[in-house]
Structure 1
């Protein structure tokens, strides 16, 4: 006889359609109700996220004590056990690891338990490295709701999910979602659907919903089912009991490899990547800040300084709130984002104070003077552009310059502000810094002694020529064209396209079969762009092409526009400032775009033409990369979330699009679309994805700033080292002013080779005096890693993502600051170092 495992639950949204306080109070009520039912019957219940338990522990110690007893008695099971259930697709890789680490540490510290079931009941898809992340975090099984394609979901609810590195985890897809058993009167109907897809005699039937009251008649309904039903026996159970029963019948034979990001069976809401874009950009900045700060703090700790564990732990918890699956996708009510913005502000303030006090932690000789400390958060030497705000004392009559080892470094000073006596008070000073791996270099600031000029970039009218490529800007549209040195066009675009937006926080919808307007002239006839003449400024290190444009809803005349030029422009609703930056010696094109929008219910995107007939697209996923389905990209196009890079290539050359949070979220044929904003005013317009609640804060009116880059390259993304270029651009060099100069002027800690390895974290261990270093393989190619360590590292061992020691499967060899170990394709490696 088959067995139905009925799992009572209440999905916990820390925020969504109500506030944090609302949801905590609701769930405390539900937990009291569950405990009362447990005391009366064989009822069982599950809790998903430890943030809720922390809140209960703080607010109601008596209730927490009762929950603790029920957990230890096996009547309440913690599933997933993350601090908060994150969006699995958008956050940075380390953020996903910390959600698990902090949550599971809490479970072990408070209850002494392991959490074997990953329970992704409401994530909008699952990234392709989660099997490895889950297995290296101690999970044995996965239950999830969204993202499975029909190729599996139409025939099996249990299967083996294989990640891009080859790791497999037994998985259960919830065919009826987490509400399968919610309506007790429809258990027969639910059973018949679930039974057809079950691959064993065991059927999982979740019974609950988000914040839903527990039905007190569940135990009686189960009793009635068992008395009247001969098809299957029903038990009130936990997910662990279900998976253990499935495991007794053997591993599932069906295997699915890759990313679980399909809307065929359940919505994954790809348009959430562009909802509340200003918040997403700020969160991405915070991710990069906290990762870099943590690395810098760990290196200072390695030198004998106190590690700011409390401050970093507080910042990480705020970061994990920002990564929650209704915060980062930005699909909640306006009120909840006040807290999100406060957390963004707190992380930025912490970063600023940390960097400005960093020089005090250097155990070296220090002398007075103004300097610029540049920190490299990566494990290879980086040469790149750095720009620092300098606050100068009185008496600076000459422009500031940059020096290293008594030699003046080429620099550019701009935005100079002066005191009343004419001396310089403030300036932005930019230069190309070279900084050793996971280390720093200190440059001295003194009055400039030379005037530098560039001979490497040539300008003729609206054409700019560098040693890497040639650019042309159309003065009427602001659209750029890029050519290689053989004269072949390799890129066209940076074109603003305005669409109508009648959707909501989950979906883009338009009432037009065309755009409202584009810089190339498409759109409804009444409106038009009004461009200004481009300006090209050549400096000693880089050249900046500036273009200003504005969209007007009405032009006159608006008939026969091919024959008559516009004479009048009225109702200006969108101002655009673009800067395109090319460098003497850096082979990429940087873009800086500002929008000032006064128009609601529009979508603004950038369009790029790759100038390739049938490009193959590869994009970054957490700790790796995946290739997009070629047939779909060529036919209907593909919408997807993006992290820091997306590469298009045709077998001979490629274009890598690098981003600091700008969603590169649609490819169609040879065109790439980056969404700059979506202006919507309701949470859910259809009342299906959520309630129809006004969200005027999601109209995204006002000013927005975007940074992104294009890196043209020969060959494929692997040979061009695109992941490294993306990390160099995204989580790049950090420069800040210091008021003392240290000797020696540069310091190096860890150097990792070969080039297909990237360090994602360096931190103090959570529970002992040790250093944790995590890196991953980027290209899907096995290698022998070589890590040069500081001389005070005395032992190295491999640990899992929970920082627990594991059997060495990497053939570690460590001798006199030189570590070697084997790394499998797309492997995540975590090392513990004693010093």
Structure 2
């Protein structure tokens, strides 16, 4: 009973304090307040410049007046003066306060504003919890500013509940005519400094006292001090008694932290999604608002350090806000505004190709080095949806030493065992990694969060600190004065970890030194996020556009470089860089994963289309130059292996066609396709009831377990529509219509056409066999009209595979097909790039695709074990795009019989890079570079980024085993370089013509070749 009474007494003190804060302290934080005059001009539609926005007629805007259709911009003119009767000593601390009608306390997800001076200079931003602008003016001084107010829609959560119709998320044209905000006024105010300080004091102490881990004696001492404070605080004269109240708290505020307390490096941050619940064009303005806040804070807080990733966002500021960019550059030079991450954007890491991740660093590090002379030593990806096991090698070869993240704290089933550890990639490369123990990149440095970080940290025995990124994020906003005050009060106080402001590099340098003695734990391979599995499949058109952009960029660079080397043609360096930067931008972790509003994905589809046209033109121009003048056919491709008489990465005149034949016939109710390699039988329902491999004599399908089945499931995740596929979807199978039409092609080609209905959608397929190898090609066209449903294309192979191998960046990842542990069970939906392979050691099959990423693999017990591989073709999430993926789609799938992954690698490149022809004089094109060795893939051929004309060649080992490689560039001196194209310390010097070296599994090697 004594303990209960003590708890009740403590609770009563806290409740008494809360009421005093709410009703007494906070209302007294303003000494003076005087209204200002506001008038407005509605420009509508897309944003306009300052000159255009401030030109034209204005109408008065009073408190309570509505303004702004969803996504519109309204320019507001704010004018008035500091009242002359105000005390001159305190009026110098006056602030401009503008409330646009903020409806919640969530920053970055509703109306926002950017304040300008009358000459068009950016001042700072307005957001719900940060909408005051320091003035530093005396009584009688005139006040005049402009505000670019953005009527961005207000959203409550990601379940589809919002304060306006979802249609408003599509574009400003679809937003309707209703104005969605009501203006709440503009004032000049003077804060009551001592009362503001008191509010910060009690916020800190209340947080410590109510944290679960706080020592009982410490709690009681704080509560006693709070009671003494309340005893002297006069509710009728808070400003006059605030100093005395603060004095009662001095002792408990100045008690230092325990000697063993960890140190948290508080890094200012504003994770700004490059697109999400707003379009790309709005992100540019969000960056300007946030960064203007940050550089303004830095002027009064020289200890404040802000970490900013994404070179793209810096580039936007340079292009659209040059004056602000100058202020940012000055802060970078002072070491306060710190570029981090070294990437173009904070990309997804599951789906971009290996070359795309390389180019994230080439573009990002290149920008930071050109603009600021800075090479980022760390990777910064706090919000990407899991991390590929290929990343450690790519990061290390791009100059990074450290990796920072936090998203793995979102795991649904299993907790990551460490916060600071060594991460080992699929090739054996290692990188020191830290996940913030605060489990968010949007900390406010409150005692609750700081206490949580201290208790949550898993590696106290080996490491003494961690990083806490603080500031409003996702939609921008960044750190506030209040957060800085909270951090300063928590610098060294009992009951919390120590807090210091600093850059990530300061933490990592200390952690690296500690790791020398600690021998930290190692995590090997991919870090699979046990959440957001639906992002492998949502918004199929965006994913198709990405895959085609990656393939065409590879091909365009190859042929443009070949034309430059062989024929002296101009290399389209700027155009290729522009397209790469757009491709990299569209790989941002809420664009490529399909988790943005429809406006974003419409922009992505348009941009991908424009870039496809441009790349096709670059390829055609290069081939025209290489082919010469004439009417003979030149056949080329960019595959890494010789095929159909074509040398790798070269071209020949009129290659001989394969002499194998494909036959097709109807036998009873089945349609039979045959080659010398395979026999495929298609049943009347469109499924594959036999796939006979002549080499092994085994059939991979049977009537009881046919291939090419279409599985339709209800798909209603518990939380995040576009993001998640939950395991329970497997229990909610939707019966297919059952009707099918199967026929032999009418045009005489050896193909079978299949038409089926699933739900309200129509599926048409064309099935063919390759004449010269054991390959089944399936082209699937879907007219999709399902919502909250998921469509899978399934192939239950008669193979007892204990693992599956799925292509990832520059290699593959092997995963078990069983569910022995909770970690295995959580991988019920997995990501694969262009292929997924299963084998029993004798017979194997690969499912190769042209644009899908989501898959599932399962062993199915029957009379004999089956291994089922399913591609996730389409979903129908309602949020944030209720029309997600409606309409027509085309998918290409290739079933490849291959006992190991080599056939999968070959066929993936073949599907990515089809044969091309050009008319010319019959000359053959010798490859500019070649690579030899079992499993050695020649992936990239381009000219150097620095414009020297040097040839860059990138190879990697693809099969997952050591090999001997020989790289040949005739007539050139070869040196080994890193991904940023700089000579490696380990390079032994230039080698003429060819370089031989031993590669370990999945190793990436880049060489630079300079003509003699």
2:713 aligned with 1:499, yes or no?
Answer: yes
Matched, 1:697 2:873: no
Provide the residue aligned with 1:236 in structure 2. Answer: 501
| Structure 1 CA distance for aligned equivalents of residues 376 and 806 of structure 2 | 32
Preserved CA contact (<8 Å) 2:539 2:601: no
Deviations 1:272-329 (A, max 9, x none): 1110112212221121111111111111111221101111111111111221111100
Please tell me whether the aligned partners of residues 813 and 821 of structure 1 are also in contact (alpha carbons under 8 angstroms): no
- Retained in 1: the 8 A contact 2:437–2:467? no
Equivalent residue, structure 2, for 1:665:
855
Would the aligned equivalents of 2:444 and 2:483 in 1 still touch at CA under 8 Å? no
Q: Deviations over 1:395-431 (max 9, x none)?
A: xxxxxxxxxxxxxxxxxxxxxxxxxxxxxxxxxxxxx
Do the aligned partners of residues 831 and 152 (structure 1) sit closer, same or farther apart at CA in structure 2, a change above 3 Å counting? Answer: farther
Q: What is the aligned partner in structure 2 of residue 261 from structure 1?
A: 527
Question: Does the Cα contact within 8 Å between 2:774 and 2:896 map onto a contact in 1?
Answer: yes
Please tell me whether residue 298 in structure 1 is matched to residue 476 in structure 2. Answer: no
Alpha-carbon distance, 1:139 to partner:
0.6
User: Which residue of 2 is the match for residue 489 of structure 1?
Assistant: 699
Matches within 5 A, 1:172-183: 172-179=434-441, 181-182=443-444
2:1009 is the alignment partner of 1:833:
yes
Seen in structure 2, the aligned counterparts of structure 1 residues 228 and 460 have a Cα distance that, compared at 3 Å, is: closer
**2-structure distance, mates of 1:152, 1:138:** 32
The one-character-per-residue Cα deviations of 1:710-739 (angstroms, maximum 9, x if unpaired) are 11123x33xx4432232222x223314x4x
Partner of residue 63, structure 2: none
Note if 1:27 corresponds to 2:217. Answer: no
Deviates more, 1:743-752 or 1:765-774: 743-752
- Equivalent in the alignment of 2:891: 706
* Alpha-carbon separation, structure 1, partners of 2:868 and 2:960: 26
Query: Aligned with 1:15: secondary structure?
Result: coil
The corresponding residue for 1:631 is 818
Corresponding position: 1:221 with 2:486: yes
Asked if structure 2 preserves the Cα contact closer than 8 Å seen for 1:752 and 1:787, the reply is yes
Task: Give the equivalent residue in structure 2 for 1:674.
Answer: 871
Length-normalised TM-score, structure 1: 0.81
> Is 1:270 aligned to 2:533, yes or no?
yes
In 2, the alpha carbon distance for the partners of 1:86 and 1:188 equals: 28
SS in 2 for 1:833: strand
Q: Secondary structure at the match of 1:127?
A: coil
Shift of 1:514: 3.6
2:587 is matched with 323
Higher RCO (CA-CA < 8 Å; seq separation 6+): 1
Higher strand share: 1
Name the SS of the counterpart of 2:774 in structure 1: coil
Match of 2:966 among 786, 799, 810: 786
Give the corresponding residue for 1:656: 846
How far did 1:536 drift? 5.6
What's 1:771 paired with?
951
* Residue in 1 that maps onto 2:205: none
- SS of the residue 2:837 aligns to: strand
Against the structure 1 CA distance between its residues 86 and 196, is the aligned structure 2 distance closer, same or farther, given a 3 Å change threshold? closer
- Give per-residue Cα distances to partners, 1:593-616, cap 9 Å, x unaligned: 111123333221111101123442
> For 1:17-416, what aligned pairs fall within 5 Å after superposition?
17-41=277-301, 42-147=303-408, 155-179=417-441, 181-182=443-444, 184-198=446-460, 199-208=462-471, 209-210=473-474, 211-226=476-491, 228-229=493-494, 232-251=497-516, 252-263=518-529, 267=531, 269-303=532-566, 304-362=568-626, 366-367=629-630, 369=631, 371-383=632-644
Distance in 1 between residues matched to 2:848 and 2:440, nearest whole Å: 37
**Contact preservation (8 Å) 2:563, 2:623:** no
The whole-number CA distance in structure 2 between the counterparts of 1:297 and 1:443 is: 22
CA distance in 2, matches of 1:99, 1:155: 29
What is the rounded CA distance, in whole Å, between the counterparts of 1:672 and 1:263 in structure 2?
21
Shift of the alpha carbon at 1:361? 1.7
Matched, 1:544 2:751: yes
Partner of 2:651: 440
Shift of 1:197: 3.8
| Shift in alpha-carbon separation, 1:93–1:454, aligned structure 2, 3 A | closer
- CA deviations on 1:621-669 (whole Å, 9 max, x unpaired) are 1011111024338967631111011110112111011111123511121
CA contact (8 A) 1:664 1:672 kept: no
Contact 1:442 1:742 in 2 (8 A): no
1:192: Cα distance to partner? 2.9
Question: Structure 1's 379 and 594: CA in aligned 2 closer, same or farther, altered over 3 A?
Answer: closer
Cα pair 2:800 2:839 within 8 Å, conserved: no
Does structure 1 residue 581 correspond to structure 2 residue 759? no
Contact persistence 1:380–1:751 (CA under 8 A): no
Q: Secondary structure at the match of 1:674?
A: strand
TM superposition shift of 1:480: 4.2
Q: Is the 8 A contact 2:629 2:921 kept in 1?
A: yes
CA displacement 1:482-509 (0-9 Å, x = unmatched): 1222643213311111222334211236
Structure 1 unaligned segments of length 5 or more: list them: 384-433, 519-527, 554-572, 684-694
| Structure of larger gyration radius | 2
Alignment check: 8 A CA contact 1:117 1:143 kept: yes
| Match of residue 724 from structure 1 | 906
TM norm structure 2: 0.68
Query: Corresponding residue for 2:682?
Result: 473
Does structure 1 conserve the Cα–Cα contact (< 8 Å) formed by 2:445 and 2:487? no
Structure 2 residue ranges without an equivalent (≥5): 1-258, 860-866
* SS of aligned partner of 2:629: strand
With over 3 angstroms needed to count, the CA separation of the structure-2 counterparts of 1:256 and 1:725, relative to structure 1, is farther
CA distance in 1: counterparts of 2:659 and 2:285, whole angstroms:
65
CA separation of 1:136 and 1:468: change in aligned 2, threshold 3 A: same
SS at match of 1:758: strand
Shift of 1:179: 3.6
What residue is the counterpart of 2:787 in the other structure? 600
* Residue 901 of structure 2 is aligned to residue 640 of structure 1: no
Distance 2:422 2:660 in 1: 58
More helix by share: 2
Distance of aligned partners of 1:232 and 1:354 in 2 relative to their CA distance in 1, 3 Å threshold: closer
1:755 to partner: Cα distance: 3.0
Distance 1:212 1:22 in 2: 13
Contact 2:956 2:1002 in 1 (8 A): yes
Structure 1 residue 458: Cα displacement = 6.4
Moved more, 185-194 or 755-764: 185-194
CA distance in structure 2 between the aligned counterparts of 1:185 and 1:748, rounded to whole angstroms: 63
Contact 1:289 1:351 survives alignment (8 Å):
yes
In structure 2, the residue corresponding to 1:292 is in which secondary structure?
helix
* Aligned-partner SS, 1:226: coil
Distance 1:188 1:776, change over 3 A: closer
Aligned to 1:734: 915
Q: Distance in 1 between matches of 2:412 and 2:723?
A: 22
Shift of 1:444: 10
Residue 201 of structure 2 corresponds to: none
- 2:131 aligned partner: none
In structure 2, the CA distance between the partners of 1:833 and 1:196, relative to structure 1 (3 Å rule), is closer
Contact 2:742 2:752 (8 Å CA) reproduced: no
Q: Is the Cα contact below 8 Å between 2:975 and 2:991 reproduced in 1?
A: no
Query: Offset at 1:230?
Result: 6.5
RMSD (Å) for aligned C-alpha atoms: 2.7
Equivalent residues of 1:588, 1:709 under 8 A apart: yes
